[in-house]
Amino acid sequence: MTTSTIKFQEIAAWAIAEEKDARALFECVALLGLEGKWIRLSAAQQRAIMGANVFGKKEFCIGEDGELRVAHSVAFGQDKEIIYYTLADVQRAIAAPGLTNISN
């Protein structure tokens, strides 16, 4: 049996804005040149950037056009479904009490 380790993207402290919201995530990704790349952020990194753990361990990609795509595992991890979200969707997920991540 093989095991895999989830790799999280490292985020430099200088790229994290003081304001904790969804816009800060988009700015951080742009500053680090990560637009168009599929990445994962640890829960601690998500809280540092947005003030909440929005994506859990899911991979996401922010395109150069500002489009946010999140990969949801289906079929016991054998396939992925890509769901598109807006900046407003992420803001609502951050603001919703008791919501653990964007897919809830």
Mean pLDDT of all residues in 41-46: 94
Edge-first strand listing for the sheet containing 79-85: 60-62, 68-74, 79-85
CA dist., res. 54 & res. 7, Å (int): 17
Q: Identify the pLDDT of residue 100.
A: 58
pLDDT digits (tens, 9 = 90+) for 70-99: 998 888 878 889 999 999 999 998 988 666
pTM for the whole structure: 0.84
Could you tell me the residue ranges of all domains in the chain?
Answer: 17-95
pLDDT-derived band of residue 103, with 50, 70 and 90 as boundaries?
Answer: low
Model pLDDT for residues 3-29, shown as the tens digit of each residue: 556 789 999 999 999 999 999 999 999
